[in-house]
Amino acid sequence: MNNIKLSELKQSEQILEIRKVNPVFVSRYRQAMREGDNFPPLIITKDNVIVSGNHRYEAYIDEYEEDHRVKCKVKAFADEAEMIETAIKENATHGNPLDGISRKRAILKLIELGRGEEKIASLLGCSVKRIVSMAGQHVIVRGNGKRPVKHGLEHMAGKTISRKQYEEHTVADRAMSVSRQCEQLVRWLDNGWVDLDNPKNGEALIKLAEAIEKNISVPA
C-alpha cells in the first residue's frame, strides 16, 4: 500500500469513456470525507494511472490540496483490457455498478480489445446471448466509430448519426421507449397533472404538437 500525492495521479481516458464521473456521487463522497468516513484505496497502475476510484479521486481533488496523500494499491496489468475488467469488478463490489449504457460501452471496448463474449458474460454476470444483444445496440458516430445507445433506440442499431446528435442523446435522453413516454404524457394530461400555468410546459407541448404534425402522417 502506497501513500501518493493527488498531483501525481492520472486518470485513464479509456476508463472514463466507459463511464463519466457523476458529480452527485462526488458530492456525496466529499460529505462522507468531512464526516470522517474511511474509503478503500485507489487501485492504480505502476505509472500512477487510476484504474478504480475515479469518483473518490475527484472528491479528494475537490476537498484537499494537491499535495494531499491518499492510499493507493499499485497493481500490474497485462493490458488495457485487464485494467477495464478490474474497474468493472471493483465497481460491482463496492462502488457504483455500471448503468445500462456504461455496460454497453464496456462490452464494445472489451470486444475491440479482443476479449471473447464468454469471458465478458462471466465478468458482467449475464448470458452470452445478452452480451451479443447489447453489443449490437450501437450506432456509428461520424468520426468516432461504434457507440452504444440507451434503451429506446435499439432500432437505430447500425445507423450513422452525427457526433452532436450522439452527445445530445447521451446527455439529455432518458432510457425509455417512445410509447412509454407518450403514455405517461397522455395520462398526465388526462389527469390534469400538467402545470399549464407554467409557460415552459406550454411551449414544450406546442413544440411536441408541431413535431408530430411535421413528422407523422395521420390517415385521413
Cβ atoms < 10 Å from Cβ of 66: 11
Hey, is 52 helix, strand or coil? strand
Q: How much is the pTM?
A: 0.82
What would the pLDDT profile of 96-122 be if each residue is shown by its tens digit?
A: 778 899 999 999 999 999 999 999 999
**CA gyration radius, the chain:** 22
Q: Which segments of the chain belong to CATH 3.90.1530.10?
A: 1-86
Cell numbers representing residue 16 in the block: 472514463
Instruction: Tell me if 119 sits within 8 A of 89, measured CB to CB.
Output: no
Is residue 94 scored above 80 in pLDDT? Answer: no
Cell numbers representing residue 77 in the block: 496489468
pLDDT mean across residues, the chain: 93
Instruction: Tell me if 110 sits within 8 A of 85, measured CB to CB.
Output: yes
Cell numbers representing residue 83 in the block: 485494467
Beta strands 2-5 and 69-74, pairing class: antiparallel
Q: Is residue 174 very low, low, confident or very high in pLDDT (cuts 50, 70, 90)?
A: very high
What would the pLDDT profile of 28-75 be if each residue is shown by its tens digit?
A: 999 999 999 989 999 999 999 999 999 999 999 999 998 999 999 999
| Architecture of the 1-86 domain | Alpha-Beta Complex (3.90)
